[in-house]
Amino acid sequence: MNDNLLSGKTALITGCGRGIGKAIALTLARAGADIVVNDIDQNTVQDLAEEIMELGRKALVCCGSVGLEADIGAMFARIKDEFGHLDILVNNAGITRDNLIAKMTDLEWDQVMDVNLKGVFYSVRAAAEMMKEQAYGKIVNLTSVTALTGNIGQVNYAAAKAGVIGITKTLARELARYKVTVNAVAPGFIDTPMSAAIPDDIKQTIIKGIPLGRAGSPQDIANLVKFLVSNESAYITGQVISCNGGIYI
């Protein structure tokens, strides 16, 4: 359903070729936003761009890694050329490289930090400049229930996602005077290609621990993000909002 809540807005969603990011991109497009489609995986972005254009919205495809400053710089240069403004940034790109602490390698630590934490830093630094000039902006960062509870085998991921909460709270304070809001969304267990890697017996155990009795869907997260990037949430900033079926209360 098109509701025009985001009509005239331009939104960048990082890592939106599949999973939660894809649901966010399509949901914001249905609400009237033009979408900057970013992913490191070139195979998924064209199909998504076509789906967005079928909804009557513009789609600008910018492949590249959020963990590389040069890729972020090139992407923001194209956004300025094509749209001249960026109203919404959703930092969604994320990876896991799980291992118990004794076995975790420097590479596994660095890869997760580069994408999940430094990637957020690079894109908010670039977006903040544009949003300050516009005196308008909505930033939503994807953190995780893991940042709030910890999780065995995810010391790198939990540290990066906890860092994202620190970025969110600090930027909310720094950017409030420019009418830019910054919030974080903390999904619980969501059914995506990322969580598909978890063995079935462990998945069933996780689902048994969810009071609402099911895994979340990418759409559950996209619905919350749509609210946070719209003017209906104008007085909310610096918050970490869980969407987790009650797995952590």
Ligand X SMILES: NC(=O)c1ccc[n+]([C@@H]2O[C@H](COP(=O)([O-])OP(=O)(O)OC[C@H]3O[C@@H](n4cnc5c(N)ncnc54)[C@H](O)[C@@H]3O)[C@@H](O)[C@H]2O)c1
187 binds ligand X (CB under 6 A): yes
- From residue 144 to residue 173, the character string flagging contacts with ligand X as x (rule: CB under 6 A) and all else as - is x-----------------------------
41 binds ligand X (CB under 6 A): yes
The smaller minimum CB distance to ligand X, of residues 38 and 237, is found at 38
> Rounded to a whole number, what is the distance in angstroms from the first to the last CA of the chain?
31
Binding region for ligand X (CB under 6 A) out of 89-97, 122-130, 172-180, 222-230: 89-97
96's tokens:
């896991």
67 binds ligand X (CB under 6 A): yes
CA atoms of 183 and 91, how far apart (whole Å): 11
CB of 242 to ligand X, least distance (A): 10
Binding region for ligand X (CB under 6 A) out of 5-13, 61-69, 72-80, 199-207: 61-69
The smaller minimum CB distance to ligand X, of residues 69 and 174, is found at 69
178 as an active site residue: the answer is no
Binding region for ligand X (CB under 6 A) out of 4-12, 19-27, 72-80, 129-137: 19-27
CB of 135 to ligand X, least distance (A): 28
Residue 247: CB atoms within 10 Å: 19
Evaluated on CA atoms 220, 224, 225, 226, the torsion sign reads positive
181 binds ligand X (CB under 6 A): no
Residues in the interface with ligand X (CB under 6 A) total: 29
User: CA 5 → CA 26, 98, 205, 212, distances in Å?
Assistant: 14, 38, 39, 29
14 binds ligand X (CB under 6 A): yes
Residues annotated as catalytic are 157
Which residues would be at the binding site for ligand X (CB under 6 A)? 14-15, 17-21, 38-41, 65-67, 92-95, 115, 119, 142, 144, 187, 189-190, 192-195
